[in-house]
A and B are shown apart, each in its own frame.
Chain A
């Protein structure tokens, strides 16, 4: 019995070791597969409600945002479905905020992506670098495995 357990344990350890050796080529934090790289929140604690068509406005209005902590409403230019340069930023406090206006600047695309990011770096300073996004402290919230964000048509 003991021998069987020992053999099984050794086999498991050996198999795991082999798998790891196979994977050992480049597994650092920076290279780990991208899954949820922001902050995970539940739908009860994090919500974003925004009208998806607000054409011609200079100040985008977010109808309601429920933030699990102090946060940022971040507006990115929509570059083929991916967030591009930042065109708007507004700080919101923990809890629910309604009718939050976000001024849009340097807008070049017809659509924008509105997302909610945590304010976990220096308070009041947006600490987010698109090039090192998963290592930046003010990363976005994720609910149900998806980023808490909406696409809004503004032009």
Chain B
């Protein structure tokens, strides 16, 4: 680093950024500060790199971040470095990538450079390249929240891994990493070293508007043939590139699907005298990765089931020999007789019984119980504990004590507890099995969505209609859909018309009319007509695949409430082991002191009877050991770990079924706290398109005549108000005549000659200019204007008013109902708009909004500020909007709710997307969020209550005589939590029911 420094480069930590819009907001705000030279924000890493002149204060930067609606991290300034002009500072490297992939990269633990470019007091960030990769892994072998923590902690320390989030319920690990530093194989290896399996699913594929097809070519003999095909294809309009591989007999063609289709490309090759077909490739369509996971989960489930039955098959005879007369005497005796007769000598049945039990228990301990040792070892390597640790400790204590009592001559006459270790393992396996079955059902919604996809498509290839698997449909293909068939992929109608049932994706039960030029969505069902459409999105790009991915991502995300479980899990295992040791030592030392060396079981009441009986028959130390084992086994961190993610999975899945895409656990959790909702007016509360609402006729005129005049003058205008008039005329079947002498008068209106009469169409000023007296109509005009409508007057022959046409953006059918319902739920409702107060007030009155809650004349750039003001007043604010101008407000709000018909950027920014564009779904989303959070709280109460009650029960020795019952109780606990989450599937939105009632 040179000493000729002019600027500082700060690496700032910013919490809450989650998309490009967030990055822009932060960058824009920070750039406004004097002295800030450049800003680069990265939502993925949560790092903002700011190059500043020395006089810029940290407080200003914090202010900019807060103004943008985000939270400064702690520490805020992660790194500070001097930067000479033209040099790249280390902090910038964090986002730009410090070196080329081929070059060795320093790990975060590398010492700071000698020049002191990096402050030694702050951790060095991992140098990352621009190209961060997201990969999701299917993870096997996790049992509880501690497993989640082990994996997350390990990956957090792994150089190159920017973020990692493990979801116990979905058994998935979502990672963001720098491929220049680490690969997905390496990450899988790291996870495997912890004792779990990790299978990479799909990496996020870059999206492209360019169509690309690989053709299998036949008939080529030499390089000229390949050159010829390339030439022929190159001449086709819309083909961007064509590369033919002679050796492989394939050709890769990139083309513009809007101009040319696959059929034309194949036709061109055929025309040149060669054969061509589309190469079958494994496309990354719906669920290719998910299938992989399901396959691996099914395999794991089968293996677990086999292991359980194996364990049962061995545990039952073990139980009989250990505890059930006459088996406990007869079996060892018969064995002794057999050995005496065959081998000779004399055999002690009691010892033979011990040996027999040792063999059976050893098989269970180290085959069925191996997974617990493996998991416990993985956790131990990370200096933490998990459920496996507890099970391994509990079963090992029982097993190894029994081994000593079998083979150590001094202990030969002591009793053994082999059945305890084997039954514990069997019951825990049973619990895991039942839990896996229940967990599988939590993703039913996503499976149902995936099941909607069509399997085959009828495409036009070489002029013929052929059925192909849907994976073979490529962008640009012309697809034929007949009545009753599913639309296989997304596309645009080129020919024919029909009505299409889109209810499976939008929830809207009325079929939608489709004509040439309209878009169709894959997985929807064609009703009566036939049509052809050109595929525009296939595989992973279709709307259905995107919805599935969105829901899967949400199900894989971690809700903030999960932190509560994580905090408890962190101390849970050490606490339980301590409690177990304490129990053992207490009964071992204090037991005989309090109750005597040979206690009377009935001496201290029912509470202590089991431990006293155990001590009377086996001695105090064995009674203490059994009580300790019960404590360590009965504790259940699994239930805690499953409480949140299973409920989130069911909740988000239920949302998707109702046309509500909840994009993260965070959004689902925030929605239940909403105390105020701000609705954008245009396009959200209203249709966003002006319509003719009122017609006032002058004496002697009729509607047809008025609209004939008005529509004739406006027919060539693209102004929304003009469109409203023309549309009304067309819908009334009015023939619109030609206009002569047309002229537009800025600020007044338009005029011209229609059917031989001079007509003026515009505002009051135009009427005044035409000397038309409108005094008699003033009250009516004022009334309409007070209702927020735009009033247009039709004057004829410069003498008389023919009529008044009022146009307004009308309220959506369900807006008022949704607002009323939200108000009844105690949520304050606001409207925000750039319109004037009178128009806004009119809409507010129709919607049922309080005048005081109308935020009118707000410039688009100030919408976020208005939301922030409400937040500053202590409200948890949701913003509902659809446009680009709503994006900052959506980002600023605690929950951004985007309308499905809105702009992509709004949907990207919103935490919740309403596919049906029905505001009643805002109510449903909040109700679903409340139901989910209620379920999470119930799960926590259950999981914590279970541990709080049963650990003390085990500590007082109530299970000393049957310590394996602790295993059964533990299994029941986690199964019950998952089952409780499944009850959320009964959730039904209340709004449609209300609507029916109202009807």
Contact = CB atoms under 8 A, between A and B. Distances in A.
A68 B346 contact: yes
A53 interface: no
B968 interface: yes
Given A39-B348, A41-B340, A41-B346, A16 B316 contact: yes
Given A9-B312, A135-B413, A40 B962 contact: no
Contact of A40 (B309, B328, B336): B336
B350 to A, nearest CB: 7
Contacts of A35: 329-330, 333, 349
A59 B380 CA distance: 69
Contact of B312 (A13, A23, A36, A37): A13
Interface residues of A, number: 42
Contact of B333 (A12, A44, A69, A145): A145
A25 interface: yes
B350 A29 contact: yes
A39 B617 contact: no
Contacts of A9: 308-309, 312
B413 A29 contact: yes
Contacts of A135: 413
A100 B345 CA distance: 21
Given A33-B328, A35-B330, A42-B337, A20 B346 contact: no
Nearest to B426: A13
A55 interface: no
Nearest to B427: A13
A52 interface: no
B618 interface: yes
B319 A16 contact: yes
Interface in B603-634: 613, 617-618
Contact of A21 (B330, B346, B414, B962): B962
Interface string B273-317: 000000000000000000000000000000001001100100110
Contacts of A36: 329, 333, 336, 349
B323 A23 contact: yes
Interface residues of B, number: 43
Given A37-B350, A40-B346, A40-B349, A23 B324 contact: yes
Contact of A45 (B330, B333, B344): B344
B346 A32 contact: no
A39 B414 CA distance: 18
B315 A13 contact: yes
B394 to A, nearest CB: 17
Nearest to A118: B346
Contact of B346 (A26, A39, A145): A39
A99 B117 CA distance: 102
B487 interface: no
Interface string A68-93: 11000000000000000000000000
B415 A29 contact: yes
Nearest to A19: B324
A28 interface: yes
A45 B325 contact: no
A2 to B, nearest CB: 8
Given A28-B415, A30-B617, A45-B340, A39 B333 contact: no
A144 to B, nearest CB: 8
A24 B965 CA distance: 11
A12 B961 contact: no
Contacts of A12: 312, 316
Contacts of B333: 35-36, 40, 145
A20 B316 contact: no
A1 to B, nearest CB: 12
Most chain A CB within a 10 A radius of its CB, from B345, B416, B962:
B345
Interface string A89-108: 00000000000000000000
B414 A17 contact: no
A139 B349 CA distance: 12
A10 B326 CA distance: 23
A151 interface: no
Interface-centre pick from A21, A32, A38, A141 (highest chain B CB count, 10 A): A32
Give the interface centre of B305, B348, B413 by most chain A CB atoms within 10 Å: B348
A48 B178 CA distance: 85
B642 interface: no
Interface string B334-359: 00110111001111111000000000
Contacts, number: 110
Contacts of A24: 323, 961-962
Contacts of B328: 27, 32-33
A134 interface: yes
A115 interface: no
A42 B315 contact: no
A89 to B, nearest CB: 19
B341 A42 contact: yes
Contacts of B423: 17
A40 B350 CA distance: 10
Nearest to A2: B305
Contacts of B426: 13
B430 interface: yes
A21 B965 contact: yes
B963 to A, nearest CB: 10
Contact of B340 (A10, A21, A26, A40): A40
Interface in B795-849: none
Contact of B324 (A20, A29, A41, A44): A20
A50 interface: no
A117 to B, nearest CB: 10
A70 B349 CA distance: 19
B695 interface: no
B753 to A, nearest CB: 84
Given A19-B324, A20-B962, A28-B618, A10 B345 contact: no
A94 to B, nearest CB: 9
A145 B320 CA distance: 21
A20 B319 contact: yes
Interface string B465-497: 000000000000000000000000000000000
A46 B346 contact: yes
Contacts of A131: none
A145 B349 CA distance: 11
A28 B617 contact: yes
Given A24-B962, A135-B413, A40 B347 contact: yes
Contacts of B305: 2, 6
A68 B345 contact: yes
A23 B315 CA distance: 17
Interface string B346-375: 111110000000000000000000000000
Interface of A: 2, 5-6, 9-10, 12-13, 16-17, 19-21, 23-33, 35-42, 44-46, 68-69, 118, 134-135, 139, 141, 145
Interface of B: 305, 308-309, 312, 315-316, 319-320, 323-326, 328-330, 333, 336-337, 339-341, 344-350, 413-416, 419, 423, 426, 430, 613, 617-618, 961-962, 965, 968
Given A20-B323, A36-B349, 20 more contacts: A26-B613, A29-B413, A29-B415, A29-B416, A30-B617, A33-B329, A36-B333, A37-B349, A37-B350, A39-B346, A40-B339, A40-B340, A40-B348, A41-B346, A41-B347, A42-B340, A42-B341, A45-B344, A68-B346, A69-B346
25 contacts: A12-B316, A13-B312, A17-B423, A20-B319, A20-B419, A25-B613, A26-B613, A27-B323, A27-B328, A28-B415, A28-B618, A29-B414, A32-B328, A32-B350, A35-B333, A35-B349, A36-B329, A36-B349, A38-B348, A40-B346, A40-B349, A42-B340, A68-B340, A68-B345, A69-B345
